[in-house]
Each structure stands twice: as C-alpha cells, then as structure tokens.
Amino acid sequence: MTAIWQDDAVSRGADLLSELTTDLKTSGHLSIWGERGPVIIRTKHGGPPVISTMGLGTILPLFRSSTGRVFLGFMPKVATQDVLMPEQAQLDIPTKEIDTVSDNIRAKGHALIAGELVPGLCAIALPVFHHDSSLACVVTLVTTDQTLLSEGSALVQLALT
C-alpha cells in the first residue's frame, strides 16, 4: 500500500476523490487494477454516506460496474481479458457489446451506471492517468439519487470539469 500511495497519479486520484465527494456531497471510492480486477483502495463520504457492501479490498466486476467499465475502456484488452472472460461467459455478453461499451467509454471519458451492480445505486467513474497516458486508477462517485447521476445532469457535468 505504501508503494501505491507514493505513485503521484494515485495520490492525484485520492485528492480528486476527496474534492469531488466534498463538493458534490456524495460518496465515492478510488480503485486500482489488481490481479483479479478493479480493487477499491480508498472510500470517502462527502455527504450522507451511501451504505453498501463495497468497502476497502472489494473487487469489482468489469462489465457491471462503472469502475470496471473505465478499466475496460482504457486498459489494453490483453490486460483485462482473463478477468473479463468468466464474467462475460456467466452473463452471456456478446463480445461486440463489450467492444461497443468500451468504445463509448473512451469517447465520453467516463462510465455511468444506474442499478446494474447494486439495485438503487448509481455511479459515475472517471479515469486518472499516469504521465505516459496509461490508466493509473479510477475515481467513482456513488449515490442513490438517479436524477443526480444521469447523462447530462448538473452533477455529471461538475464531475467532468
């Protein structure tokens, strides 16, 4: 963990998480890529906490979470393939759909999901890059208010600025 926090991009991600959750009065988490997929390494509550089973050390799915979708969109396929295959097989997701979602994430620069992983929770995930443009970590904001995190909403626009 000490080595992770010495990474400037991860530190910037933690600062961004703190700033966004405080400014937008929501909850969130910071995730890095682990050998089994996206792993939550920090949580933050900037308003009333969103209660869920996702805490430090939680490994998130690639396709069903906004965090995972950012990793899918911005990491090389070869890096995510072994983690994605079991989820893809279990959910019977066509490769074409995964490619379309990944392309969309790269084009928009974020991933937005409502109720797919945890019913009633909405999340927006934002990438944080290393100096070489590779993905370092993902900042994810979570709320129970679907109107706050819908494409084009004021909260989404604030998070993206």
Q: Cα-atom radius of gyration of the chain, to the nearest Å?
A: 15
Whole-structure pTM over 0.95, yes or no? no
Are residues 143 and 26 in contact, defined by beta-carbon separation less than 8 angstroms? yes
- Taking domain 2-160, whether its CATH number is 1.10.3720.10 is answered by no
Q: Which residue has the tokens 């994430």?
A: 105
Q: Which residues contact 2 (CB under 8 A, 6 or more apart)?
A: none
Residue 157 gets which letter from DSSP? H
Per-position pLDDT tens, the chain of length 161:
554 545 588 889 999 999 989 988 888 999 999 999 999 999 998 877 676 667 788 999 999 999 999 999 999 999 999 999 999 999 999 999 999 999 999 999 999 998 677 777 889 999 999 988 999 999 999 888 776 666 666 666 665 66
